[in-house]
Amino acid sequence: MLKHMIAGASVLVIAAACASSNDPVADPVEPNTSAEQTQYELAIGTVTSLVDAGNEQIAIDRLTQLLGDPGMSERQMAETLFARAKLRYGGGNDLTGAVQDLKEIKANYPDSHVADEAAALLDEAAAEFAMLTDMLESGSVTPMERFEILFRLGRHQEAADLMLAGALEPENNYILDMYQIGYLCDGDELAGPVFELVEPDGTSRAVQFCELGK
């Protein structure tokens, strides 16, 4: 049930991203020759390339760095927050972070051109957040379902702790995210359980928990 629910949420995000005419990753950028605008274009181009390559977690990190740029306009801030929210809600598996981003748009950029889409996505994300939280608090889920819920909510450290303590073996998409976030590493000096990872480009790796090798 949980897998079908998460898959359905991902389909909604992909459909919204394809249908949106306001997606900052896809839209033509307004003509502007300033250094700040050029930097913004480069950053968004990098994010697009990362997403296309299946590196959602690294793309989220790049958007987070971009949001720290004091030279960003309000339009750019709203666009960047919305781009990060969609990634977090989709393949980034950080529902909590997505809700926070969408609430920030609602509070600080209510007149932005992405405000209506952000509000609609906030309703969906908040509903899923409430449902998953209720499932988690019910205590009626299996250890693997608990891991998946924690991970989907963005509580990645708790999910990693449960994975290690319960000797869980999640599917490849979770292993990939944990590798990109930095919970799993590859290297001869590491110890602990080994997980087989196949990256989006087909590269195979044997990865282990990074902290256990220190």
**One domain, residues 21 and 118:** yes
**One domain, residues 82 and 178:** no
- 79 or 11, higher pLDDT: 79
Q: What is the mean pLDDT of the chain?
A: 85
Distance separating alpha carbons of residues 68 and 82, to the nearest angstrom: 15
Residue ending a domain, choose from 79, 108, 132: 132
Q: Which residue, 117, 105, 130, is CA-closest to 20?
A: 117
Residue ending a domain, choose from 109, 132, 155: 132
**One-letter-per-residue 3-state SS of 52-81:** HCCCHHHHHHHHHHHHCCCCCCHHHHHHHH
Residue ending a domain, choose from 105, 132, 159: 132
Average pLDDT over residues 193-199: 95
**One domain, residues 36 and 88:** yes
Residues 6+ apart with CB under 8 A from 206: 186, 194, 195, 196, 197
Give residue 192's domain range. Answer: 139-213
Nearest 5°: CA angle at 78, between 28 and 42?
A: 45
**One domain, residues 148 and 115:** no
**One domain, residues 143 and 115:** no
**One domain, residues 121 and 151:** no
The total number of structural domains in the chain stands at 2
Percentage of the chain lying above the pLDDT 70 cut: 81
**One domain, residues 123 and 157:** no
Q: What is the pLDDT of residue 45?
A: 93
Residue-wise pLDDT tens digits, 127-159:
999 999 999 999 899 999 999 999 999 999 999
Order of all β-strands in the sheet with 184-185: 184-185, 204-209, 195-198
Beta carbons of 56 and 113 less than 8 angstroms apart: no
**One domain, residues 126 and 143:** no
Average pLDDT over residues 18-22: 39
**One domain, residues 151 and 127:** no
C-beta neighbour count of 40 within 10 angstroms: 23
102 CA to centre of own chain: 13
